[in-house]
Amino acid sequence: MNINQLLHFLVVADEFRTASELVSELEKLVRSYGFEYYGVVRQPKPDENPMDLVLTGQWPEGWPQIYIAKKYVLMDPTIRYLGQAQAGFRWRDALHAFRNDPHRKRMERMLSDSMRFGLMDGYIFPVHGRTGLLGNMTVGGRPVDLSPTEIALFDAVAKKAYWRLLEFKHADNTEAVKPIDTRMTRREMEVLNYLADGLTSNEISKILKISNHTVDWYMNGIQDKLNAKNRQHVVALSFRLGLVT
């Protein structure tokens, strides 16, 4: 067991100043468990290129191209099972869950293809927000047996890595860092919570019985207080700062 390394990552993840520092530590952790490949991604949609949503990762050469060309995201049992999973699970358990699915043969062909690229087994850990599934972290390669405790800790690592990488993605390191003001008015907190729920300005305005313009005015104030680049960055920072849960 390398539980100490899992705990170490959770402790130091907030101390990194750049994405490369975080990725280096994450890769060290993944390799220590014998996993050769990994990825941290935002949740793909059927009409999106999955590789455009990768926050970081390392895959076998040629596998991403095969995955995209054959539209495996539509039948990948691990991606499909993520929609109902509340915690991390093993890849092979996802296939078992679809044993009676009409597309099972296509799933088996996909897994057969992945094995030819060295992706024989692995685990995937969902990352949820207030609106549901937001992304995941997956690790794989040769079969590795994780204990329930290790799976739970990897689950925590996935969430920490996802939110920190999303934060770095929207950070502009060329600008001087401004202090973050987490003091919010009652109305700003209402708007922020609805934004974290995935609601649009129009939807928020109807609930709060105020105009779209007023909602946008509150949002601009929140964005300025958090030194955020856009609304997605606002949500990422809000989860990290504990403003929303």
For the domain made up of 186-241, the CATH class stated in words is mainly alpha
- Segment 186-206, tens digit of pLDDT: 899 999 989 988 899 999 999
Question: What is the H or E stretch that residue 126 is in?
Answer: strand 121-129
The residue ranges of every structural domain in the chain are 3-170, 186-241
Confidence at residue 158, expressed as pLDDT on a 0 to 100 scale: 96
- Segment 106-125, tens digit of pLDDT: 898 998 999 999 999 999 99
- Segment 7-31, tens digit of pLDDT: 999 989 988 989 999 999 999 999 9
Q: 172 with 26: CB under 8 angstroms?
A: no
Q: Identical fold at 3-170 and 186-241?
A: no
| CATH number belonging to the domain at 3-170, selected among 3.40.1160.10, 3.30.450.80, 3.30.559.30, 3.90.70.10 | 3.30.450.80
Can you tell me the mean pLDDT for 85-95?
Answer: 90
Letter string b/e over residues 129-167, b meaning 16 or more CB atoms within 10 A of that residue's CB: bbeebbbbbbbbbeebebeeebeebbbbbbbbbbbbbbb
Mean residue pLDDT across the chain: 86
